[in-house]
Structure 1
Amino acid sequence: MSLTYSASDFKEFSRSTQQTLVRIGNIIGSVSLSLYKFNLLFAFVGVIINILHLAILSRKSMNTNSINVLLIGIAISDLFSMSILVYQFVFLPPMSYYLQLIDFYLLSARESFHLISTWLAVIMASIRYLVMKYALKSNFQNLSKKATGQRFVIILFICSLLMSLYYSVRVKFVELPERWKPAENCKLPKNTSFPDYDIVDREWFLSADWIYEIFVILEGLLKIVPSILLPILACLLIKQIKLAGNVKRMVSSKTEESKLDHTSKLVFIMTIIFSLTEGPLGIVVVLDGLATNHTGLQYIINDIMGILLIFETLNSSTHFFICVGISSQYRKAIREMFGLKKKKPKTLLHTYNRTLVYFSFFHPFQLPNYILQWMSAAYCGIFAATLCILAIQFLYRFWSVFDTPKLIYFDGFNYFIWIVYYIFFGALWAFAVGYFFALDDYGKQYLADEIVVKYHRNISDIPILSLLSYDENGIKWESLYGLSMITGISTVQYTVICVCAFKMCKGMREKLLAMSPLHRRINQFYKALLIQTFAPSIFLFSPVFFMLSIPYADLNISFPSSIFASGFTVYPAIDSVCIMYCVSEYGRCFRNLVSSVKVKLGYEHSSSITQERSGNIANFTATN
């Protein structure tokens, strides 16, 4: 990953183009480096999640068909991939020859495991499509058997092992004349150095041009083809799910239809997520091949790959949550493994075909349903107020560093401007949900059987709000009006966050270039700012836009979508972890706090702990 770019990296371009590429490269490189360091947290969490995911899938009750076997193969690949990523974070500085050699082999293995996971997703989507399309042909129904999935997993692992071995034997390690030295701001002792090595192709490999060409073409196809096939398979699965849903509605009742397994929906959602992850990677691989003769562009492309690495990590962690949200068999296996009893939550989000339903089983003081519906809408308005407060926070940060005269708007009675701001948008969001998403007669008729089958409740007995995308006449305009209002509110807040974050990143980069390496605290807050900009996108805005847009696809799906709203509760912790991870001042304050507690308990004697802690907190507040 490049730290800084210069015009010398783009000698083949004109002067104006060089300046533009240097600016773009520095921004992308900085974002890539920050996310690469923070990716350790996601990788570590991914390892834990995939261990649990693999333990559940390996239970006898789950190991019944080819799809579940392929899911086991994907879980194994993701587990090893994330584990290797964590290992590489632990051993960042180059050490001995053998440690670097192990690191190289592990890097090759991680690439192989990533390819295995991607191709297993392609095979899984293909099998499900063929089984659905040719449901009456016994030859295709054999694809759903457990043995079929086992064969595909074994074949892929063997092929990947052979390619990894070939890639490993064709190169050798050569010691470089200059030893590796840490950067000036590194925590290693001064005058530290390690022998450094580079990877070069062996002579026999370079002499056989046809072997090199075949290997490069094959490697490129293995990375590009999935990014093409996955979106195609996703579209085919949508079409087939809709056709199957129409047939089932004609020949079966709602109760019988609801008992059908959710395998197709699970495979479809996983295919969509893999498409979103692998699509950009495929594009980047193509660009990398086109930029062979441009070293600077290849550096930028490598930094872009570093940014996409975090989405690969997040993708590996989502499979567990998708299975929990969609597969009743998977949830049953979890309850059996942990000895849990099935309990109904009091407030639920549920996605059913063309609707997103928000309802509650809680009836305080025996209030009528219409009052409880407006209380639920007010609760949604609190989410909008949270987004507004987050936007205000970013605006305050920007003004406090780069436009201090405008801080007058946060002084005295001017502060009430911002209170009115988030109350207004919160109330507007609550009004949009409570008024436009109120259930009419068509909506009650459409959802009645689904609520009875899934939750054993009469729809007239519970407070319920619903985003119903279509009715008998086509688009339901009331829902579209409400969706437009809340989408507009979200877009305004997200735009404020992104604009302020971009301007702060640009301004802080310029300040960092002018400062000495001793100003490490500013650099730490710069990295924390980048991460805090991405965190709301992942945990707040993305789940909301997904849940609100999926009803307009009019898919034949039915699953509790509360799992996607779990990011709302995760975000506050993630936002705090960002600061604690990036800013060393937090660790120092925490150690001082522990020491003071020990003093009070009589374990230690200290004369200046309180004074030092107060000074650290004051410095931190001034810097922030």
Structure 2
Amino acid sequence: MLIDMPQSFLDYVRYAQLVAQLGFFSTTFFCFILVFLTMFGVKRNFGTYKYLLVLFPVVGIFFATIELILYPNVYSHNAGFVVYSTSRPFNMTQDAVTWFIVLYTGVYATTISMLSVQFLYRYWAIFDEKKLSFFKGWRFLICTAYSLYFGIQWALGTYYFGKIDDYAENYLRLEMMQKYSTDFSEIAGMTLVAYDKDGNIRWFNICCTLNQTFIMMVQYSVIIYCGIWMYIEIEEKVQMLSLSLRNLHKQFFKTLILQIVTPTVTLFLPVIIIIYLPFLDLECDLPTGIFLSAFTLYPAMDAIIVMYIVADYREAAKTMLKEALHKVSSWLGTVETDKSSTRARSTATNLPVALSPN
């Protein structure tokens, strides 16, 4: 027998699904525009950085698509939390949905890893241009492999160390039923409970947190290191470049500053709160899945940042919009002319012979 879901939790579920839909459509729209402008609109040659500018939004669209399909959720209770989904898209089995959630977490790690690669590229472009050879030709695959490696490590660590065991199921079952009217045996996902009944740390579960912390520390350290040194020395270094390149580097630097603040708020902090809250063992019941909404919105925000700050994108967008409007205007003019000609011929045909021109 299912227990009626409290109105507040019902509203939360609806809100989370609405934000997931909004995130998918906004991410798809803005990331598509960014990719299109990068490939066909922007005239300046960004070198191999162009591929990073294309690859990142493509991964963002993939990430948002998985969230739209699965509607993953997180529920935190005292010393534990569960990442789960009750959806069964395409009639997938419970195990298949679990693997898709694992894939979802892996794409998150791939996203933050690709962000650190972008910072490293900009850092070397200013301070050690010879090292940009790592981004050219087949070596670009090293950058891709770097991001994929950490994505796989995060996903497998989450799956292996976060498996739902009997203790975690018993710990969270009653609360899940009361808050979400959900039978724990029917959900697909992973759990983490920090302490056992005697108050001892469940180290096997905690290895999941340690693995995730290591990956985040590596990526965030690269981001912060490159960001700080570019802030300290960029003025001196860019003086040796041409005015055009100097302005471009400054624009990308402003972009990267926002790309530090934005992922800190939308990508890193939410995960840190979710995975470290159990260690406090507070008496709380929180729908922490609300933080997942920020993950989906981030790729759209990142695309907007690049297109707003980098002048080449603004100019390319204006040029392509003007051309599109001109073509639409010309097409409408042609249609109107054809209609006028048709009406004139029709009128001439229907005139009496006596009124027809000689």
Structure 2 CA distance for partners of 1:524 and 1:598, relative to 1, 3 Å: same
How far apart in 2 are the matches of 1:598 and 1:365? 41
1:156-555 residue pairs with structure 2 within 5 A?
A: 328=8, 331=11, 346-364=71-89, 367-473=92-198, 474-511=200-237, 520-555=247-282
Cα pair 2:82 2:191 within 8 Å, conserved: yes
Structure 2 CA distance for partners of 1:561 and 1:426, relative to 1, 3 Å: same
Structure 2 CA distance for partners of 1:562 and 1:498, relative to 1, 3 Å: same
1:557 and 2:297 correspond: no
Query: CA offsets per residue over residues 198-242 of structure 1, 9 Å max, x none?
Result: xxxxxxxxxxxxxxxxxxxxxxxxxxxxxxxxxxxxxxxxxxxxx
How far apart in 1 are the matches of 2:231 and 2:86? 46
How far apart in 2 are the matches of 1:456 and 1:494? 38
Structure 2 CA distance for partners of 1:577 and 1:560, relative to 1, 3 Å: same
Percentage of pairs with the same residue: 32
How far apart in 1 are the matches of 2:146 and 2:9? 46
Query: CA offsets per residue over residues 395-432 of structure 1, 9 Å max, x none?
Result: 11222222111122122222222222222211111111
* 2:308 corresponding residue in structure 1: 581
Report the AA paired with residue 159 of structure 2. Answer: G
Query: CA offsets per residue over residues 90-118 of structure 1, 9 Å max, x none?
Result: xxxxxxxxxxxxxxxxxxxxxxxxxxxxx
How far apart in 2 are the matches of 1:356 and 1:329? 16
How far apart in 1 are the matches of 2:183 and 2:298? 34
Report the AA paired with residue 179 of structure 2. Answer: K
* 1:140 corresponding residue in structure 2: none
Gaps of 5+ in 1: 1-254, 260-326, 336-344, 605-624
Structure 2 CA distance for partners of 1:398 and 1:516, relative to 1, 3 Å: closer
How far apart in 2 are the matches of 1:577 and 1:365? 33
Query: Which stretch shows the higher mean deviation, 513-522 or 529-538?
Result: 513-522
SS of match in other structure, 2:283? coil
Gaps of 5+ in 2: 16-69, 332-358
SS of match in other structure, 2:270? helix
SS of match in other structure, 2:266? helix
Report the AA paired with residue 202 of structure 2. Answer: K
Query: Which stretch shows the higher mean deviation, 473-482 or 581-590?
Result: 581-590
How far apart in 2 are the matches of 1:346 and 1:566? 10
Cα pair 1:348 1:562 within 8 Å, conserved: yes
Query: CA offsets per residue over residues 316-368 of structure 1, 9 Å max, x none?
Result: xxxxxxxxxxx929949x99xxxxxxxxx843111111112111112346554
Structure 2 CA distance for partners of 1:506 and 1:457, relative to 1, 3 Å: same
Count of matched residue positions in the alignment of Structure 1 and Structure 2: 272
Structure 1 moving runs of 4+ over 6 Å:
513-518
Report the AA paired with residue 551 of structure 1. Answer: P
SS of match in other structure, 2:192? strand
**Deviation, structure 1 residue 514:** 7.6
How far apart in 1 are the matches of 2:164 and 2:234? 50
Query: CA offsets per residue over residues 49-108 of structure 1, 9 Å max, x none?
Result: xxxxxxxxxxxxxxxxxxxxxxxxxxxxxxxxxxxxxxxxxxxxxxxxxxxxxxxxxxxx
* 1:37 corresponding residue in structure 2: none
Cα pair 1:437 1:468 within 8 Å, conserved: no
How far apart in 1 are the matches of 2:318 and 2:91? 51
Choose which of 292, 301, 326 in structure 2 pairs with 1:599.
326
How far apart in 2 are the matches of 1:350 and 1:558? 7
**Deviation, structure 1 residue 481:** 1.0
How far apart in 1 are the matches of 2:123 and 2:96? 41
| TM-score (ref. length: structure 1) | 0.40
How far apart in 2 are the matches of 1:368 and 1:599? 52
Structure 2 CA distance for partners of 1:542 and 1:462, relative to 1, 3 Å: same
Structure 2 CA distance for partners of 1:392 and 1:461, relative to 1, 3 Å: same
| TM-score (ref. length: structure 2) | 0.68
How far apart in 1 are the matches of 2:92 and 2:329? 55
**Deviation, structure 1 residue 484:** 0.4
SS of match in other structure, 1:356? strand
Query: Which stretch shows the higher mean deviation, 503-512 or 408-417?
Result: 503-512
Cα pair 2:73 2:292 within 8 Å, conserved: no
Structure 2 CA distance for partners of 1:436 and 1:399, relative to 1, 3 Å: same
Structure 2 CA distance for partners of 1:549 and 1:329, relative to 1, 3 Å: closer
1:567 and 2:247 correspond: no
How far apart in 1 are the matches of 2:249 and 2:143? 28
Report the AA paired with residue 439 of structure 1. Answer: I
RMSD: 3.0
* 1:5 corresponding residue in structure 2: none
